[in-house]
Amino acid sequence: MTRGTLAATAGGVVLAALVAGAVLPQMASRPVDQITIGGPFRLIDKAGRVVTDADFRGRFMLVYFGYTHCPDACPTMLSDMAAAIDKLPVADRGKMVPIFITVDPARDSAAMMGEYAAAFGPEFVGLSGSEAQIARAEEAYHVYARKTPLKGGDYAMEHSSVLYVMGPDGRFRGVVEDNTKPAVMAQQLLGLGVGVPPTHD
């Protein structure tokens, strides 16, 4: 699976494309300090309601793009997210909302996304929408996604696999790479301000 990775550093955000073609052309051709990650989206939840980024203001959004037919990266990342959240202080867990957005709206209805996401925890939100709505969200987050034909007429979706951490104000805070162990992910989330590290007497 093709993965585009964004790495957060203490001196700021460094954008790194680890695989050629894993970022959108406009991202690759612009200076790092001119790139905006995230922004308004208008999608559909499992109840058929319109959901926008503004609905999550006041909480951290942990945003991951994938699809329900994904054989490995998606269920692994979502499982790791759930395990990482469980490692955070109880008082901080309500300050965030994990959001799973499809890159395959042709097959992933909003109801399917909601059911799939909820399997990883009741706090998980699954979102879908029209192809145009999904394309706008992908562009805002600089997500790479491409349909790859399979034998028998089916297809898979190649897609970047990274967890975007957005602040309560909707602004980009940083990212967590895929294949990050839950304990490390929890520490990275704390480092991005999602919660307060526990004190030790």
- pLDDT for res 196: 57
The CA distance from 23 to 143, in Å, is: 7
Cα-based distances in Å from 68 to 25, 52, 74: 26, 21, 8
The CA distance from 129 to 4, in Å, is: 23
Residues 102, 2, 147, 170, CA torsion sign = positive
- pLDDT for res 121: 95
C-alpha triplet 49, 136, 154: angle, nearest 5°: 85
- pLDDT for res 110: 98
Residue partners of 49: CB distance under 8 A and separation at least 6: none
Which positions of the chain have pLDDT values less than 70? 1-35, 195-201
- pLDDT for res 35: 67
- pLDDT for res 198: 47
Spatial contact of 67 and 147, defined as CB atoms under 8 Å apart: no
- pLDDT for res 15: 42
What is the third-level CATH fold of 5-191?
A: Glutaredoxin (3.40.30)
C-alpha triplet 87, 89, 94: angle, nearest 5°: 100
